[in-house]
């Protein structure tokens, strides 16, 4: 197809959502969004440049002193509930769009996105609960605290779960009374723009939420993190990007607040005394879910030696049952990688695994041609005889690659689990309650699951130790990071001594 004809065939998302209006980019432009199941563009999407970010930040600032800023918490809650209901109504369509844009399987997208409205309702229920406290001193003063919004929030999201990453920021930000400029990843901008329509339908005042897709370094993302009028950045992405943001001189100049949700290399420990069948259900799913593109992926499966061979054999059998295919087909378990660079990265790590001496026992190949065409499909992959010092065990791959590492006793399992720069999540399977407590308490991770895995909800605080980030998303802890404490002291006498009288 000629490029002119192709462009007219594409879905058009050629406007940014700024100040409650759909506007053309000022210094951005139009970019193609690729459907990773075909490798072809499917949508033409507006992206913003620095001047567009300036417009969005100005609108967000103004909205803080408009109807939104003056709205009592219970009215904000009601508005958020309306949004949650609108979201629920459109969830099935959102799932189709997110699957098309990111390649995640429709069955996963439906399950995930179908639950987001519950999260927005939960956040709504907190919108009028941020109370301060009275501080006892003496009868000369009445001292008390109030909790006020931090102000304008720049929300920067990655490409693997755009709507979930947005929900984790928008929910607490709106509950706190903040306003937001959302910048989704360049690879998967479509569903974030769809959110603008839902906020319109729910009746949000202009400027409260602004949505500006764009490029990170040198583009909309960089302008947002260095903008002097942005009070907080809520960022999800790679550690290397977070460090680059912190190093950028102008970021430091603005002294804004940051929360960082970064990568992971989560240990998933299987003790011999566990219910192995259940552990395998979790270990295989958590290694391959989202085609491996989850920060909570149980990518290091640490297995007690007496059951190691059984676990390896079971992993191999179960890999054969994974239906890799067109993501919109409800029968498909695993879609493609979300973009070409990620496909190349996954294949490179599979090479590292081979070269470093791990034994490839399942998968390891790109799937293309025939029904896979030029899509970015890859087989569910398993390495046995992996060692924790190998690159496939130390570095985040973000592909469907499990490294199975043997251990002998509890001490060794804990040592291996903690031996990475990351500390996001961890799982362990055991039939011994004492061991569950002993081991979970010694794992350096922001979230530990025992006899389950990847149980993540709006109400359970989520975030990393060590190199996996700063702060928490979800849970009341997340609300705190969108609020600041203001202390007010009122004299009960109105008297103030003259320091210079004598
Ligand atoms: P990146 O760090 O590459 O990008 C994240 C976002 O930051 C994108 O919107 C990107 O824009 C933007 N960005 C890039 N450079 C800059 C910059 N200099 N200034 C401001 N913004 C910038 O991460 P990925 O999108 O590749 O996402 C994958 C990563 O996200 C993985 O490491 C994964 O573990 C992590 N992640 C963590 C989660 C958690 O909750 N802990 C959940 C999901 C993912 P652009 O796309 O244009 O580059």
Structure confidence by residue, pLDDT tens digits, 461-473 = 999 999 999 999 9
Q: What is the mean pLDDT of residues 244-258?
A: 86
Closest CA to 159 of 182, 184, 181: 184
CA atoms within 13 Å, Cβ hemisphere of 145:
11
Token readout for 350 is 């599979």
Using the mean position of ligand 1's atoms as its centre, give its distance from the Cα of residue 260 in Å: 10
Instruction: Decide: 250 in ligand 1 pocket, CB within 6 A.
Output: no
Question: Residue 221 pLDDT > 60, yes or no?
Answer: yes
Q: What is the pLDDT of residue 364?
A: 98
CA angle 369, 372, 377 (to 5 degrees): 110
Q: 299-310 pLDDT, tens per residue?
A: 999 999 999 999
Q: Which long-range contacts (CB under 8 A, 24 or more apart) does 318-322 make?
A: 318/280, 318/284, 319/284, 319/362, 319/363, 319/379, 319/380, 319/381, 319/382, 320/362, 322/288, 322/380
Instruction: Decide: 425 in ligand 1 pocket, CB within 6 A.
Output: no
Asked whether 377 and 336 are in contact (CB, 8 A), the reply is yes
Query: In terms of DSSP H, where are the helices of 370-456?
Result: 391-394, 410-418, 433-442
Tell me the C-alpha distance between 349 and 478, whole Å: 34
Tell me the C-alpha distance between 474 and 168, whole Å: 6
Q: What is the pLDDT of residue 253?
A: 86
Q: Which residue intervals of the chain bear CATH 3.40.605.10?
A: 11-263+468-487
Instruction: Decide: 196 in ligand 1 pocket, CB within 6 A.
Output: no
pTM: 0.97
pLDDT band of residue 9 (cuts 50, 70, 90) is confident
Question: Residue 146 pLDDT > 70, yes or no?
Answer: yes
Q: How, if at all, do strands 300-304 and 267-270 pair?
A: parallel
Q: What is the mean pLDDT of residues 58-87?
A: 98
DSSP string for residues in 260-275: EE-----EEEE-TTS-
pLDDT band of residue 408 (cuts 50, 70, 90) is very high
Tell me the C-alpha distance between 77 and 71, whole Å: 10
Q: Which of 98, 108, 186, 261 is catalytic?
A: 261
Q: Is 238 a catalytic residue?
A: no
CA angle 375, 380, 386 (to 5 degrees): 135
339 contacts: CB under 8 Å, gap ≥ 6:
34, 36, 159, 187, 376
Topology of domain 11-263+468-487 in CATH is Aldehyde Dehydrogenase; Chain A, domain 1 (3.40.605)
Asked whether 278 and 452 are in contact (CB, 8 A), the reply is no
Asked whether 407 and 302 are in contact (CB, 8 A), the reply is yes
Which residue is closest in CA terms to ligand 1's atom 22?
216
Which residue is closest in CA terms to ligand 1's atom 25?
158
Q: 326-336 pLDDT, tens per residue?
A: 999 999 999 99
Q: What is the pLDDT of residue 7?
A: 63
Query: In a mutational test of the pocket of ligand 1, which residue from 167, 241, 397 has the highest number of ligand atoms less than 8 Å from its CB?
Result: 241
Q: Which residue intervals of the chain bear CATH 3.40.309.10?
A: 267-450
Instruction: Decide: 477 in ligand 1 pocket, CB within 6 A.
Output: no
Instruction: Decide: 158 in ligand 1 pocket, CB within 6 A.
Output: yes
Q: What is the pLDDT of residue 189?
A: 98
Question: Residue 3 pLDDT > 70, yes or no?
Answer: no
Asked whether 193 and 13 are in contact (CB, 8 A), the reply is yes
CA angle 242, 243, 244 (to 5 degrees): 90
Tell me the C-alpha distance between 145 and 158, whole Å: 36
Could you identify the atom of ligand 1 that is nearest to the CA of residue 161? 43
Q: What is the mean pLDDT of residues 357-378?
A: 97
Q: How, if at all, do strands 179-183 and 152-156 pair?
A: parallel
Using the mean position of ligand 1's atoms as its centre, give its distance from the Cα of residue 141 in Å: 48
Q: 377-396 pLDDT, tens per residue?
A: 999 999 999 999 999 999 99
Q: What is the pLDDT of residue 229?
A: 97
Q: What is the mean pLDDT of residues 186-201?
A: 98
Which residue is closest in CA terms to ligand 1's atom 29?
237
DSSP 324: B
Closest CA to 314 of 382, 406, 388, 387: 382
Which residue is closest in CA terms to ligand 1's atom 40?
261
Instruction: Decide: 244 in ligand 1 pocket, CB within 6 A.
Output: yes
Q: What is the pLDDT of residue 5?
A: 58
Using the mean position of ligand 1's atoms as its centre, give its distance from the Cα of residue 236 in Å: 6
Burial of 480 (0-12, 13-18, 19+ CB in 10 A): middle
Instruction: Decide: 33 in ligand 1 pocket, CB within 6 A.
Output: no
Instruction: Decide: 210 in ligand 1 pocket, CB within 6 A.
Output: no
- The residue that leads in pLDDT, 5 or 105, is 105
Q: 76-116 pLDDT, tens per residue?
A: 999 999 999 999 999 999 999 999 999 999 999 999 999 99
Tell me the C-alpha distance between 252 and 250, whole Å: 5
Tell me the C-alpha distance between 123 and 422, whole Å: 28
CB atoms within 10 A of CB 415: 13
Tell me the C-alpha distance between 307 and 152, whole Å: 52
Q: What is the pLDDT of residue 248?
A: 80
Token readout for 293 is 């593109």
Using the mean position of ligand 1's atoms as its centre, give its distance from the Cα of residue 238 in Å: 5
Instruction: Decide: 217 in ligand 1 pocket, CB within 6 A.
Output: yes
Could you identify the atom of ligand 1 that is nearest to the CA of residue 462? 40
Topology of domain 267-450 in CATH is Aldehyde Dehydrogenase; Chain A, domain 2 (3.40.309)
């Amino acid at each position: 197809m000629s490029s002119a004809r192709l462009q007219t065939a594409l879905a058009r998302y050629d406007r940014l959502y700024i100040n409650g209006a759909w506007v053309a980019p000022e210094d951005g432009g139009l970019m193609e969004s690729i459907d990773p199941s075909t490798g072809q563009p499917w949508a033409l999407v507006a992206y913003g440049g620095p001047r567009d970010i300036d417009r969005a930040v100005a609108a967000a600032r103004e909205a803080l002193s408009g109807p939104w800023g003056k709205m009592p918490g219970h009215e904000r809650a009601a508005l958020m509930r309306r949004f949650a209901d609108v979201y629920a109504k459109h969830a099935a369509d959102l799932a189709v769009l997110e699957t098309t844009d990111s390649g995640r399987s429709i069955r996963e997208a439906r399950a995930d996105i179908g639950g987001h409205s519950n999260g927005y309702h939960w956040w709504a229920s907190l919108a009028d609960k941020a109370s301060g406290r009275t501080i006892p001193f003496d009868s000369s003063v009445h001292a008390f605290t109030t909790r006020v919004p931090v102000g304008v929030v720049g929300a920067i999201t990655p490409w693997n779960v755009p709507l979930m990453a947005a929900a984790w920021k928008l929910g607490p930000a709106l509950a706190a009374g903040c306003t937001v400029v959302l910048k989704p990843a360049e690879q998967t901008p479509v569903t974030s723009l769809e959110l603008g329509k839902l906020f319109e339908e729910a009746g949000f005042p202009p400027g409260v939420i602004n949505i500006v897709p764009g490029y990170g370094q040198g583009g909309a993302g960089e302008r947002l993190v260095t903008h002097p009028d942005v009070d907080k950045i809520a960022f999800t992405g790679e550690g290397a990007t977070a460090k680059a943001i912190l190093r950028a001189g102008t970021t430091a100049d603005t002294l804004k607040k940051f929360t960082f949700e970064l990568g992971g290399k989560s240990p998933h420990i299987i003790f011999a005394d566990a219910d192995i069948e259940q552990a395998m259900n979790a270990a295989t799913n958590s290694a391959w879910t989202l085609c491996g593109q989850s920060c909570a992926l149980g990518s290091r499966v640490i297995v007690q030696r007496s059951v190691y061979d059984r676990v390896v054999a079971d992993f191999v059998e179960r890999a054969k049952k994974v239906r890799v295919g067109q993501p919109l087909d409800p029968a498909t378990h695993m879609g493609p990688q979300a973009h070409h660079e990620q496909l190349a990265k996954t294949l490179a790590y599979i090479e590292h695994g081979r070269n470093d001496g791990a034994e490839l026992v399942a998968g390891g190949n790109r799937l293309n041609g025939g029904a896979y065409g030029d899509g970015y499909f890859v087989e569910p992959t398993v390495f046995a005889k992996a060692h924790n010092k190998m690159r496939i065990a130390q570095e985040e791959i973000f592909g469907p690659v499990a490294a199975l590492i043997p251990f002998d006793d509890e001490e060794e399992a804990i040592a291996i689990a903690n031996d990475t720069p990351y500390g996001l999540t961890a799982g362990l399977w055991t039939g011994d309650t004492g061991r569950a407590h002993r081991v979970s308490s010694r794992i350096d991770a922001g979230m530990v699951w025992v006899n389950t895995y990847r149980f993540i909800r709006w109400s359970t605080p989520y975030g990393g130790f060590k190199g996996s980030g700063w702060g928490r998303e979800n849970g009341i802890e997340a609300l705190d990071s969108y609020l600041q404490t203001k202390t007010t002291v009122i004299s009960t006498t109105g008297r103030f001594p003259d320091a210079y009288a004598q």
